[in-house]
Structure 1
Amino acid sequence: MSVFYDHLVGLDDIHNEILEFDLPTRQHYHLLQIVDSTLHHEILNVILLEIPVEVHEHFLVEFNNRPHDPAHLDYLKLFSPEIEDKIRSRANLTKAKIIEELQRQR
């Protein structure tokens, strides 16, 4: 599923790390789904911390209806002008932790 913040996150580095395990295709993509879900929850947490509680429901409904819509970023910037940097930063931190854990498992 494509979401409005995909261009801020990128999974290539994690994908390459997972390739090192030479997993069967099904397991490889299952692991990528877990990573994607983890990143999604981390990013939603950042977003909800940045916007007023009063607009949480509105944002979540709109996001659920149109997850790919780039207008979501414009909406979020009304409340947090640096939201792109905050999303990127949390994604990078989370990916670094995941990569570190993957490297420990090799």
Structure 2
Amino acid sequence: MAQGAWEWSTIDCQKSHSERVALLRPIPYEMTSPVERSSVAPSDGRALSLNISSGGMLLLMDQAPEVEQVLKVYVPTPISVAETPTLAEVRWTRQLPFGKTNGNCPHFVGLKFIF
């Protein structure tokens, strides 16, 4: 493990973080295909949401999607049986320095909702 594995850059920006709320739930998602690779079928799976705000959400995923990849995430609503599909763009990913499962390392994935 690299010594600097946990040395991620941080920006002191509490203003944009103040509206985040914890949301620990499994979130279904579908990866959309980039235009230049339209023959590739979309991939789907489940991630664990960690927090959410009006602008985006933080997921824990077993893979690292490409930055700028668009995902369709199924955000839970107050009615437990309803899930609202929402488009979100991957803004950043960070690999966790532990926990390999089936050859995959878990990643934090920051999403920005696309309105």
Question: TM class, shorter-chain normalised?
Answer: under 0.3
Higher relative contact order (CA 8 A, sep 6+): 1
Higher helix share: 1
Higher strand share: 2
